[in-house]
A and B are shown apart, each in its own frame.
Chain A
Amino acid sequence: MIETLIPLVPILPLLGALVLGLFGKKIQAVLGEAWTGILGCTTPALAAVIAYGSFFELIGRPETQRVVVLKLASWITVADFQVEWAFRFDPLSALMLMIITGIGTLIHIYSIGYMHGDAGVWRFFAYINLFLAAMLMLVLGDNLLIMFLGWEGVGLCSYLLIGFWFTNSDYAYAGRKAFIVNRIGDLGFLTGMFILVYLSAMNFDLVTLSFGELGSRMEVFSQYRIWGMPALEVAAVAFFIGAMGKSAQIPLYVWLPDAMAGPTPVSALIHAATMVTAGVYMIGRMYFMYSLAPHALEFVAIIAAITCFFSATIGMAQYDIKKVLAYSTVSQLGYMFLAMGTGAYSAGIFHLLTHAAFKASLFMGSGAVIIALHHEQDMRKMGGLIKKMPLTGWSFVAATLAIMGFPLTSGFFSKDEILEKAFEHAPALWVLAFAAAGITSFYMWRLVFMTFFGTYRGDHHTWDHCHEQPKRTTFPVAILAVAALTLGFLNIPDFLGGHYNFSHYLSPVVVDLEGHVRAGELLLEVEKAAEAEPEGSKVEWALMIGSVLWTLFTAALAYFFYLANPAKREALMAKFLPQQIFKVLHNKYFVDEFYDWALIRPLTRLFRFLASFDRLVIDGAVNLAGYLSRGVAMLAGLLDKGVVDGTVNELAWFSQTAGKGFSLMQSGKIQVLVASALLLFVGVFALLIFYV
């Protein structure tokens, strides 16, 4: 079944996008908004059925046969450079397919309610279907180029959806910013790809970008240097620059918070659960390369830890409910990369899974609140909403427990493992990640208390009209909240009596790819080493208890400041230093302003200058030369009529003809000229025939 049906997984939503894109307007006019939405949900749901079915078939197979590569057709073939349309279905892509189609379908259903009343529902579903197709392509692709196709495809859809309400210039601007910042990352991705092609071309008869073959070639590649550095390290960093763009890491994270301009389902699906994790997935997919590039991994870990910490601090000082969640996403992505960078491959992917569940739930919950309050996003005008929207509220609380890492929720298991690996790897990284865990708990509870508890601070009209959203909106939120609470049991660590089921499920991806067993062994060694140490479990217990206490403490702090005693907080805030700190955090460390000053403005000056240079200097020189030669020609014509002198004469003849042509045009005798030109031409060819 896998072999025949897997290609349909991306193709179905693509068909949905095509149908809705081409005929959606008519469909919506004739069948109405509801049917348009249902049509939009059908293809993702079918894709989900196939994805889950294939997953169960896959785990039914022996471990060594869990990598299925489907070659569909040739894509580009030029000399030794050959790329195919091929899909790879293995435990890693199966997992991603389930996340994408599962959460994707839920968010599609949620969107029917969220987009209710919008004239462009058909357009919304066309875009978001297209997004799913591209995202599925990204994870299913068996080579870097198909991955890149999906990579750019999701970027396009993100652009289209952020600017969905395009009549608002700010939204349109946010879309463009996302696309361009991502393009900077893309250049990194492309550079990485070029390096791999270059290395292949030097050593092998055929250049390939397929993961299986690349894996088997890594050994050879690792011998080479480029620009005086080990080639694989450079390639790994280049690919990571691509990931910085797509997965919003420092310094390319700036687009993601602005991307919240898009409709909330988009934030949930694209800017939290799926697209932004593409970078993590890419590193997971290319782990055979990263495991041979230790310095690059170190770099990944450092960037990730810094991102994780700094974006969490920004999250503390935002009032826009979606902005808090956006910075939280950046921070959580940092955790995933930290895991990748410290060699905790499966922990990173596991956090990707749990984060997808709780963050999608959080975003959809916030979306329900925003709709209930007539598009109010400022938390200062919320409060006490749990009374009005209990299901949304309690789901939100459940998801918040997961993200803070409350014992036995999914976030507890996934984040804990990352912290532990970071501690083993380098305590400095652990400090940042540990601090961020507490900050996460603080800003999330701040959000919960400001939104759902206490007293309502908005106007009464809105409060009176505020009500729980219909089931089609709340049930996806609730389902994902339940998932957020329970998914952790998939990967209970040994020291808690579990078996790391999830890690074992993923291990064939790394180990059984033909040829790069070494990378896999390396990984297993790391994991085994962690398991084998006798005192290891004591450290693990200590770290676990430490982070639980720390997150509970900051949660209590949030309770104290935002629910129990706001006056105390205000008194504290009024003091000089806290106020200044808050200002810096609230303005996101002025990074956007810095980029504007350091990059955008110089660039603007540069291109303005070049355009003037083009017009005045280069074109000026041309005009000058034109005038001069015309002068010379006239002079020559006057002084020395009849002397044939190559260039000058040509020019003189030209300026005369041009002058005549001009006056002819003016006097409307153009036909004469046209006719003579034609005659000339025909004459020349008549000559030709004569000579034959």
Chain B
Amino acid sequence: MSHLLSWVVFLPLLGVPALFALPKNKGKWVALGVTLADFVIGMPVLMGFDRAMTGVSNPMDMQFTERLAWIPSLGVEYNIGVDGLSLTMIFLTLLIGVLAVLASWNIEVYQRGYWSMYLLLQTAMLGVFVSLDLILFFLFWEVMLFPMYFLIGVWGGPRRVYAAIKFFLYTLLGGVGMLLSFIAMWYYAPGERTWDMVELLSRVAAGGRFDGPLIFGVEFSKVIFVALFIGFAIKVPIFPFHTWLPDAHVEAPTAISVILAGVLLKMGTYGFLRINFTLFPESFHWFREVLVALAVINIVYGALCALAQTDLKKMVAYSSISHMGFILLGIAAATPQGINGAMLQMFNHGTITAMLFLLVGVVYDRAHHRNIDGFGGLASVTPVYAAITSFAFMAAVGLPGLSGFISELLILTGSFKVYQVPTILAGLGIILGAGYMLWAYQRVFFGPLNEKYKDMVDLNRVEVFSLVPLLVIVVYLGIFPNNLIVFFETSMNHISELLLR
């Protein structure tokens, strides 16, 4: 199939007409079928991927490329392709896409609307990860906002509208800076003007620079760098742009939290790697200490805020902020271990946090609240649920033998080479992580049984189906992480070279 990648990206969208053709309660089956089919046709991309090809800054090395002129007058193209950097993210998106369908099995209102938004979101996310044209990238990036806004704003919790608007506003604000930066980058591109980010990067790697005028007396590339950084940092989210996340998570339905934490946040760190840091290596060095400081703040501050939460989902949301800090730390360190660890963490955080949100959703479905102190002793009535939760919590805490440990270890060893003290400070996040996770676990599952929940039912089949694949992946990658690392190592080592030059 010559348009394989386009099929992967747009297949979810093709499911939308089916939603309206079939009775509305079949929506979930359509979504499941479509996402599963998408996963299946995505496999040839994974299998056929040549791991020895660098990609990143070598246009010839991009794989599964498709290129069509789109707006010739401006040189905008439909330009997609895959390298080690995007491949893992595509795999993650396809996987989470299937599992989150299972997590939305109980959606009852506006089913057609929900599933069409869901599928649109899936296409948009995949689009972001395959786009090689700045405008196309931006288009998918903004399109993603729409379904997300409605998914939170319509199917969310009590304060959903506030959360949805906040999410929208924040991301949009970042998006504006991003668009302006993209235009400036196009205008002042080294050499001939182009929106092709791989081409741009190859020129930057060859010594080209974005040579624009001073902006408010500050060097052009620094301004653009910061504007881009804010745009992507909001998505990650990096302190102090993070407050939309806990609200969005708390209000979003379970499946959307899973996607949000599992995939969406990675679009920010993906942007760092693909566009922001690599295209402006000098500004990256100028800003590097700040990046490290922000990463450490994210890790420690997120963990401390997680300790204080009384809402289980909010705690997981803050833990997410803490864990995303590790990714920034690895990228800022830019050593091969740091960058590869960051990439691995992007995947591992996706699977582990997805588990956490799925599990929070389980208890919310049954008890209709998430107050950590409002439970107690659940381990006696729902042993399977307790066991899988303890597994997920241990994975989040970074227990060796599970996947999260490998990526955090790589990041920390990688960053220790460059920044010793910040690395140790980041290590505090590991201690605090054990603190909030075990404390929450103890309050929910241990102690005397709360009589209110003595009839609570254990996990049902759909819930088990949504959790087990993640569980298997988390164990598998803890023991054989190389089987994933090989897919992106060549590309990541190359990025490390580009950044450290």
Interface of A toward B, CB cutoff 8 Å: 25, 73-81, 145, 148-149, 151-153, 156, 159, 163, 166-169, 172-173, 175-176, 179-180, 183-184, 186-187, 190-191, 193-195, 197-198, 201, 226-227, 603, 606-608, 610-611, 614, 618-619, 622, 626, 646-647, 650-651, 654, 658, 661-662, 665, 670-671, 673-674, 677-678, 680-682, 684, 688, 691-692
Contact = CB atoms under 8 A, between A and B. Distances in A.
Given A77-B482, A167-B380, A684 B400 contact: no
Contacts of B430: 183, 186-187, 190
A606 B431 contact: no
B68 interface: yes
B413 A81 contact: yes
Interface in B345-388: 377, 379-380, 383
Contacts of A671: 110, 112-113
Interface of B: 13, 16, 68-72, 78, 110, 112-113, 116-117, 120, 139, 143, 146-147, 149-150, 153-154, 161, 165-166, 168-170, 172, 176, 180, 240, 242-244, 301, 304-305, 307-309, 336-337, 340-341, 377, 379-380, 383, 394, 399-401, 405-406, 409-410, 412-413, 416-417, 420, 423-424, 427-428, 430-431, 434-435, 438-439, 442, 445-449, 479-482, 485, 489, 493, 496
Given A176-B439, A194-B423, A692-B70, 15 more contacts: A76-B410, A76-B482, A77-B482, A79-B496, A153-B400, A183-B435, A197-B416, A611-B305, A614-B243, A626-B169, A654-B169, A658-B165, A665-B153, A671-B110, A691-B70
Contacts of B308: 607-608, 610-611
A75 B413 contact: no
A167 B400 contact: no
Contacts of A186: 430-431
A674 B117 contact: yes
Contacts of B493: 79
A79 B491 CA distance: 12
B406 A76 contact: yes
B417 to A, nearest CB: 6
Nearest to B436: A607
Q: Interface residues of B: mostly helix, strand, loop or mixed?
A: helix
Contacts of B117: 674, 677
Given A167-B449, A183-B434, A190-B412, A176 B427 contact: no
A74 B482 contact: yes
Contacts of A611: 304-305, 308-309
The 7 closest A-B pairs by CB, nearest first: A611-B308, A79-B336, A172-B446, A194-B416, A149-B400, A169-B447, A619-B243
A673 B168 CA distance: 16
Contact of A166 (B120, B176, B243, B447): B447
A173 B336 CA distance: 40
B417 A610 contact: no
B168 A658 contact: yes
B149 to A, nearest CB: 8
A198 B335 CA distance: 12
Contacts of A73: 480
Q: Interface residues of A: mostly helix, strand, loop or mixed?
A: helix
Q: Which of B301, B399, B416 has the most CB of A within 10 A?
A: B416
13 contacts: A79-B337, A153-B399, A153-B400, A169-B446, A169-B447, A175-B442, A180-B431, A190-B409, A191-B427, A614-B301, A658-B165, A691-B70, A691-B72
Contacts of A169: 442, 446-448
Contacts of B428: 187
B417 A688 contact: no
A153 B147 CA distance: 43
A274 to B, nearest CB: 18
Contacts of B379: 166
A561 B479 CA distance: 57
A81 B410 contact: yes
Contacts of B169: 626, 651, 654
Nearest to A182: B434
Nearest to B172: A654
A674 B482 contact: no
Contacts of A662: 153, 161
A606 B337 contact: no
Nearest to A227: B420
B411 to A, nearest CB: 11
Contacts of B423: 194
A161 B13 CA distance: 50
Given A153-B400, A183-B434, A670 B69 contact: no
Given A75-B482, A674-B116, A167 B447 contact: yes
Q: Which of B120, B439, B447, B485 has the most CB of A within 10 A?
A: B447
Given A610-B304, A611-B305, A691-B72, A153 B401 contact: yes
Contact of A179 (B110, B377, B438, B482): B438
B102 to A, nearest CB: 22
Contacts of A603: 307
Contacts of B445: 166
B191 to A, nearest CB: 24
Given A194-B412, A654-B169, A187 B431 contact: yes
A195 B427 CA distance: 14
